[in-house]
Amino acid sequence: MKGAERINSLSDLSLGSDCQIVSLELSGLLRRRILDLGIVPGTLIRCIRRGPSGDPTAYMVRGTLIALRSEDAAQIFVRKLSNGEECV
Partner 1 sequence: MCAMSPSRILSEVYGQAECVRNSNLKSFSDQIVADIYGNAEQITKHVLSKKESQRISFDLTIDNLVTSKWFGYPLMILLLVGVFWLTIEGANFPSELLATVLFAFQDQLTLWFQWAGAPNWVHGVLVLGVYRTLAWVVAVMLPPMAIFFPLFTLLEDSGYLPRIAFNLDHIFKRAKACGKQSLTMCMGFGCNAAGVTSCRIIDSPRERLIAILTNNFVPCNGRFPTLIAITSIFIGGAIASYSGLINALVISAIILLGVAVTLSVSWLLSVTILKGEPSSLVLELPSYRRPKFGAVIYRSMLDRTLFVLRRSIMIAAPAGAVIWILANVYIGDQNILSSVAHVLNPFGQLIGLDGFILMAFILGLPANEIVLPILIMSYLSTGSLQDYSSLEELRNVLVSNGWTWLTAINVMLFSLLHWPCATTLLTTYKETGSKKWAFLSFLIPTLIGFTACFILTQVVRFLGLV
Residues near partner 1, by CB under 8 A:
23-24, 29-30, 33-35, 37-38, 40-43, 48-49, 51-56, 58, 62-69, 71-72
Report the alpha-carbon distance of residue 71 to residue 55 in Å, rounded: 10
What is the nearest approach in angstroms of partner 1 to the Cβ of residue 37?
7
What is the C-alpha to C-alpha distance for residues 33 and 39, in angstroms, rounded to an integer?
9
The SS3 of residue 9 is strand
- In this complex, which beta carbon is closest to partner 1, that of residue 5 or of residue 32? 32
Cβ-based nearer residue to partner 1, 13 or 34 = 34
CB 47 within 8 A of CB 73: no
Shortest Å, Cβ 61 to partner 1:
10
Task: Check: CB of residue 1 under 8 Å from CB of residue 53.
Answer: no
